């Protein structure tokens, strides 16, 4: 097995539990290997740090799988890790639909497994984990006995690993539009063509958190995707809900989801770009009791944080102006590079410009099936606020 030695004063994060070794941290590699192989990692003094898979084509050259030098990376290893992840979910969250494996936070770097009722969706986002895909599928079949497993590897990040984008069945084919349930709300999931793996599971508990503020309220749900927050608002007693999303495909699914739950008279959906309509609606004097902002990530790198902050400020400013006095703003950011501190700053700047006072009701992060590994800051990405705007 090849050995990777880190430079002096490099790799301290890895020694403290971070699973990534970057190319610039490596001093030398001893022994033969092929990309995707398991290698041992040592610091500059020769102290063992961990074992993981290597890919010199990637800036993240090694992703650590274990800190135990004697632990073999084989079928039993993946069975143990996936069972540990599943047992954790069963203890901390309702599991009808949930993320079963969350990559680094479950000590299986670059592996994502999402569960929608009796179906699983798998992503293997790096070469080293992709090599074990057949073993992982075998283990998933044993543990879950699912009706079907689908691969959603149609993501650009795989190309950084020298992998092709692809999607398709990992079991016998099945209808890829399935029905599942979250917090008592039923919804369709398009696991073949929907965003990510078909749905955004990380807001599961946050959607339940709006229960008390939406009762008898007129609600505007921006970036509504397939209507998850809208449907929860209706379930929790909203008087009316208007959901808007730029995607016609998403809006069509949102309408189907409303009908599935019998909420079609409460929830209405329209295809709009939120940036285009919030300002004119405010000028027209339209008002809501609750405005929900759950946009996609506005930045995926440090270089574009500043422009992302302008985008977040704009939508939050417009949302505040659409609220009735004492109304509630539900606002989120899933951009990892926009830190909680920067997100707070953006909201405060928007409030100052809107001449509003903020009273915080609740601050939350992602659902417990997307655990935050304190040794790996990248696993904390979702910020979620419920605010009263006065």
Please, what sign has the CA dihedral across residues 356, 362, 364, 369?
A: negative
Residue 372 DSSP class: -
* Paired sense of beta strands 185-190 and 48-54, if any: unpaired
Tokens of 253: 């699914």
CB 124 within 8 A of CB 101: no
Alpha carbon 326 to chain centroid distance? 31
At 275, is the secondary structure helix, strand, or coil? Answer: helix
Q: Specify whether the CB–CB gap between 55 and 38 falls below 8 A.
A: no
Who's near 271: CB < 8 A, 6+ residues apart?
A: 244, 245, 246, 247, 248, 251
Q: Which residue from 124, 113, 120 is spatially nearest to 82, judged by alpha carbons? A: 113
Q: For residue 11, with 0-12 CB atoms within 10 Å meaning exposed, 13-18 middle and 19 or more buried, which class applies?
A: buried
What residues form DSSP beta bridges with 311? none
Quick check: is 222 catalytic? no
Active site members? 334
């Amino acid at each position: 097995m090849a050995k990777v030695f880190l430079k002096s004063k490099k790799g301290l994060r890895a020694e403290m539990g971070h699973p990534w070794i970057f190319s610039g941290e490596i001093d030398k590699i001893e022994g033969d290997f092929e990309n995707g192989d398991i290698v041992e990692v040592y610091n500059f003094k020769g102290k063992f740090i961990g074992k993981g898979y290597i890919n010199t084509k990637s800036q993240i050259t090694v992703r650590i799988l274990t800190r135990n030098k004697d632990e073999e990376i084989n079928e039993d290893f993946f069975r143990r890790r996936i069972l540990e992840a599943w047992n954790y979910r069963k203890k901390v969250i309702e599991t009808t639909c949930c993320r079963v494996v969350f990559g680094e936070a479950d000590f299986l770097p670059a592996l994502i497994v999402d569960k929608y009722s009796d179906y699983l969706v798998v992503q293997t986002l790096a070469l080293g984990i992709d090599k074990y895909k057949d073993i992982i599928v075998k283990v998933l079949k044993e543990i879950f006995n699912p009706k079907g497993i689908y691969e959603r590897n149609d993501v650009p990040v795989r190309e950084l690993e020298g992998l092709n984008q692809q999607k398709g069945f990992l079991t016998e084919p099945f209808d890829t539009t399935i029905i599942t349930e979250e917090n008592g709300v039923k919804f369709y999931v398009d696991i073949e063509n929907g965003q990510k793996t078909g749905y955004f599971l990380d807001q599961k508990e946050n959607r339940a958190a709006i229960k008390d503020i939406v009762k008898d309220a007129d609600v505007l749900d921006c970036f509504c995707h397939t209507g998850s927050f809208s449907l929860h608002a209706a379930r929790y007693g909203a008087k009316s809900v208007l959901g808007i999303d730029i995607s016609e495909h998403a809006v069509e699914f949102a309408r189907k989801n409303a009908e599935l739950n019998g909420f079609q008279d409460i929830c209405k959906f329209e295809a709009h770009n939120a940036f285009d309509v919030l300002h004119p609606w405010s000028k027209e004097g339209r008002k809501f009791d609750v405005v929900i902002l759950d946009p996609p990530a506005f930045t995926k790198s440090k270089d574009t944080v500043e422009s992302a902050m302008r985008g977040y400020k704009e939508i939050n400013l417009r949302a505040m102006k659409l609220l009735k006095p004492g109304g509630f703003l539900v606002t989120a950011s899933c951009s990892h590079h926009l830190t909680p501190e920067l997100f707070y700053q953006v909201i405060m700047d928007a409030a100052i410009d809107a001449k509003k006072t903020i009273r915080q009701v609740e601050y939350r992060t992602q659902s417990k099936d997307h655990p935050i590994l304190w040794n790996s800051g990248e696993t904390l990405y979702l910020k979620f606020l419920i605010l009263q705007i006065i």
